Structure formats: structure tokens, C-alpha cells
């Protein structure tokens, strides 16, 4: 990745500790990480390594115990809870293993949700939600409830929802974990296309073949980054 690319995420000496009775558990032990615009980064590591904790801190779902986090130039530690929620909604699109779609809302209504929180009016909201469902090839399914969609279609709805606010970053936590191999490959192809269009993608996965879609991989073990590699070639 060229150095003139804008820095989106800057983590300096990020530490996260939890109290477990009278013991202090250090989950992250001084993480340094820079992510530039347009990168496709895979975060790998064994279960309990701290990768999900790191993802939650990057996604503003959790705060570090100590350290410095700048997101798109904003000093995260200084934000109030309300401002944090606003920045999270504007800057980050989330894609989870379990989709987290609301069962009583159809595909269009699920994709509209971030726009409701952002205060976008009804007609503009519907138009954008439809546009992004078409982008993920679900234009024919906008009125379908989650129960009427396959796993792959649910994940596409989740990706459309993640994209609809035009965030700086897509955070994907095990995005293929609940899908069969073929459907998982289709979802990864879609994420690769979005990255080629300029979206910055950060993905947690424990599957090497899924991580191979990314252009950069970091490995976390025992709360520390033990490897950071950039590929010149990737699967397409």
C-alpha cells in the first residue's frame, strides 16, 4: 500500500485489561497498528488471542484501558458516549457472523436502520436502501423477511446495511463463519469487489483460505501482534 494513502486508523500502545475477581487479565498488551485507506486487512489468531477484543475497540464497541486511538483523525478517547455512537454509525459498517437482522423487518427495512439513526428522511432512506440491495444483487428480494432468505442472502443484506451510510471502514467479524464453503466464497468475492472500489475492509477470521482474500494479514497471539504481512498478489 502506497504511503501517501490517508491513514484511517492509528492505534498506539493499546492495552485492554479485565478484572477477574482479584486478578487482572491483560487481553491486549500494547498493540500498535496503522490502517490506511483502501486496505483489506485480515486479523488472524487462535481463540482467546485478543482478536475479537481488538475488533471491538477498532469498531468503537469497547474502549481500551490505555493507549491512543485515532479514527480518521479523531481522538477516540476524548469522545462522549453519544458522540462515539454517532461516529460509529457514520464511519463504520459492521458485518457479523450471525447477520443480526431484525426478524420482523424485511430486507429493505433492515438496510434502512442505520439511516434512521442518522436522521435521513423516509424517501431518501428507501432509495438508498434499495440502491445498496441492488448492489449486492438482492433487488428482487427487498420485501422478503430474513426467514425467507438463505444464509448467503442474509449476509448480503447485512453487507448492504453496512454500506448504506457510506462508511470509511467495513468491519467484518467472521463474515463466512455461518455459511457453507461456496456461499462463503461468493461473500468474499463481493467484499473483494468492494475493496477494489476503494472500501477499507478489516476482517477477523480464523480460516487461512478466507484470510487469503485480504491484501494484508496480521496475526495476534496472547494479546500481541506477532506477524504483519502484505501480499502483492491475492485471490480474485
Structural domain containing residue 95: 39-55+80-229
Assess if residue 236 is contained within a domain.
Answer: no
pTM as predicted: 0.89
Are 149 and 115 a contacting pair, CB within 8 Å?
no
- CA 158 – CA 152 distance, rounded (Å): 10
Assess if residue 109 is contained within a domain.
Answer: yes
Assess if residue 132 is contained within a domain.
Answer: yes
pLDDT of residue 2: 44
Assess if residue 25 is contained within a domain.
Answer: no
| Confidence check: pLDDT of 189 > 90 | yes
- In terms of Cα–Cα distance, which of 178, 140, 185, 133 is closest to 156? 133
Count other C-beta atoms under 10 Å from residue 184's C-beta. 20
Average pLDDT, whole number, for the chain?
91
State the Cα angle at 160 between 157 and 166, rounded to 5°.
160
Domain with residue 89: its CATH number is 3.40.50.300
pLDDT of residue 3: 46
Assess if residue 197 is contained within a domain.
Answer: yes
Assess if residue 139 is contained within a domain.
Answer: yes
Q: Which of 79-83, 142-146, 210-214 has the lowest mean pLDDT?
A: 79-83
Assess if residue 6 is contained within a domain.
Answer: no
Assess if residue 211 is contained within a domain.
Answer: yes
Question: pLDDT tens, 65-119?
Answer: 999 999 998 999 889 988 998 889 889 999 988 889 999 999 999 999 999 988 8
Number of domain units in the chain: 1
Three-class SS string for the chain?
CCCCCCEEEEEEEEEEEEEECCEEEEEEEEEEEEEECCCEEEEECCCCCCHHHHHHHHCCCCCCCEEEEEECCEEHHHCCHHHHHHHHHHHEEEEECCCCCCCCCCHHHHHHHHHHHCCCCHHHHHHHHHHHHHHCCCHHHCCCCHHHCCHHHHHHHHHHHHHCCCCCEEEEECCCCCCCHHHHHHHHHHHHHHHHCCCEEEEECCCHHHHCCCCEEEEEECCEEEEEEECCCCCC
| Confidence check: pLDDT of 1 > 60 | no
Amino acid at each position: 500500500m502506497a504511503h501517501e494513502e490517508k491513514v484511517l486508523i492509528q492505534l498506539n500502545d493499546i492495552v485492554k485489561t479485565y478484572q477477574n475477581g482479584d486478578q487482572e487479565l491483560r487481553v491486549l498488551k500494547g498493540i500498535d497498528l496503522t490502517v490506511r485507506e483502501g486496505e483489506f486487512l485480515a486479523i488472524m489468531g487462535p481463540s482467546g488471542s485478543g482478536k475479537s477484543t481488538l475488533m471491538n475497540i477498532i469498531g468503537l464497541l469497547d474502549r481500551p484501558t490505555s493507549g491512543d486511538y485515532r479514527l480518521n483523525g479523531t481522538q477516540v478517547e476524548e469522545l462522549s458516549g453519544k458522540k462515539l455512537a454517532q461516529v460509529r454509525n457514520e464511519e463504520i459498517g459492521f458485518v457479523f457472523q450471525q447477520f443480526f437482522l431484525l426478524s420482523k423487518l424485511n430486507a429493505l427495512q433492515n438496510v434502512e436502520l442505520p439511516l434512521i439513526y442518522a436522521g435521513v428522511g423516509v424517501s431518501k432512506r428507501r432509495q438508498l436502501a434499495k440502491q445498496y440491495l441492488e448492489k449486492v444483487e438482492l433487488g428482487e428480494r427487498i420485501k422478503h423477511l430474513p426467514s425467507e432468505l438463505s444464509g448467503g442472502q442474509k449476509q448480503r443484506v447485512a453487507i448492504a446495511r453496512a454500506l448504506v451510510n457510506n462508511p470509511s471502514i467495513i468491519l467484518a467479524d467472521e463474515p463466512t463463519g455461518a455459511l457453507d464453503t461456496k456461499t462463503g466464497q461468493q461473500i468474499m468475492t463481493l467484499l473483494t469487489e468492494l475493496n477494489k472500489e476503494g472500501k477499507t475492509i478489516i476482517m477477523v477470521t480464523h480460516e487461512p483460505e478466507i484470510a487469503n482474500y485480504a491484501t494484508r494479514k496480521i496475526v495476534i497471539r496472547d494479546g500481541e501482534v506477532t506477524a504483519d504481512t502484505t501480499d502483492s498478489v491475492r485471490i480474485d
